[in-house]
Amino acid sequence: MMEEFKAEMMCKYEMSDLGLLHHFLGMGVTQTEGSIFIHQKKYALTLLDKFGLKDCKLVSTPLVATDKLQREDGSEAAEESLYRKIVGSLLYLTTTRQDIMFSASLLARFMHSPSKKHYGAAKRVLRYIQGTIDYGIEYAAGKSALLIGYCDSDWSGSEEDMKSTSGYAFSFGSGVFSWASIKQHSVALSTTEAEYVSAAEATSQAIWLRFVLEDFGEEQATATTLFCDNTSAIAMSKNPVFHQRSKHIRRKFHFIRDAIQDGEIDLVYCKGEEQIADIFTKALSKDRFSYLRSLLGVKSVTNLEGSVEK
């Protein structure tokens, strides 16, 4: 069918068959017998060369777990235009490198009047990229076409305004294909509230993804499982009664209850150790970061299984 379609198109239009996809909008595509691997190695090499870090010292994590960045840190001002170029480039690199999503989002908060410390943190992310230059995201074939989500938050993670950071990730068989790291708009008074707001944001994304998948002929017959590691937030989402812990939360976040009752979402508890979205909410230690990175589906091209088709 594919060959017939290509032959008919070539008869009607001036076009040629280039074979399997290898490059698209700065992304490289490697196709194996059982998976598709998407990376931005060439783009990453260009960045390192552009910012003078081609032969830099490697680091194992993009951010130091114990460091907390804030706007006023006492250090000198950095060159704003250069800092913006680095952060903008990192944000584009997150297309296939979900492991630097939180780092890029955090650095983007200091676009105006960045300091030397912010600039040093941005350079550290580039040093991490140098050490993982051939990493990308793998999507394996033969998996069940079931939408699954994870949501998490880092309570009061921002040192300046004590606002929390939400993170969510969705997979469809294998590999994460939709993700976000977002600073919440209001201050959460408890970890339960922070997790509840994060779950509401993930629910909004899940409903939209279900709508898109239905257009593609992959209608989700059952409720989309959304994993959360906070039992209080799960209990609040399933209890329609407003009480002391929830009456101050903005009403727009309570639509998650309707989504659960309508059978669109099923908020399920998972252990904190298995919470993939944790990588989108805070800087992590080396072992924890590497473990969650592997769960995302981000891996080295050298770890691919199967022979590569030419």
Q: Is the pLDDT of residue 60 over 90?
A: yes
> Where would I find the H helices in the chain?
2-12, 41-50, 80-93, 101-107, 116-131, 191-215, 231-237, 255-261, 286-296
User: pLDDT tens digits, residue range 200-249?
Assistant: 999 999 999 999 999 988 899 999 999 999 998 898 888 765 555 566 56
Q: Is the pLDDT of residue 304 over 90?
A: no
Least trusted range by pLDDT, from 51-55, 95-99, 197-201, 243-247: 243-247
pLDDT confidence of residue 71: 86
| C-alpha to C-alpha distance for 70 and 49, rounded to whole angstroms | 28
| Radius of gyration, CA atoms only, the chain | 21
Answer whether 89's CB lies under 8 Å from 47's CB. yes
* 106 vs 18 pLDDT, higher one: 106
Reported as type and span, the H/E element at residue 150 is strand 147-154
N residues, the chain: 310
pLDDT confidence of residue 309: 47
269 contact partners, CB below 8 Å, separation of at least 6: 227, 228, 229, 231, 234
The reported pTM is: 0.87
Q: Is the pLDDT of residue 310 over 50?
A: no
| C-alpha to C-alpha distance for 298 and 97, rounded to whole angstroms | 7
pLDDT confidence of residue 242: 54
**pLDDT band (50, 70, 90) for residue 128:** very high
SS3 content of the chain, % helix, strand, coil (to 5): 40, 20, 40
What tokens were used for 230?
A: 């906070």
**pLDDT band (50, 70, 90) for residue 275:** very high
What tokens were used for 166?
A: 């939400």
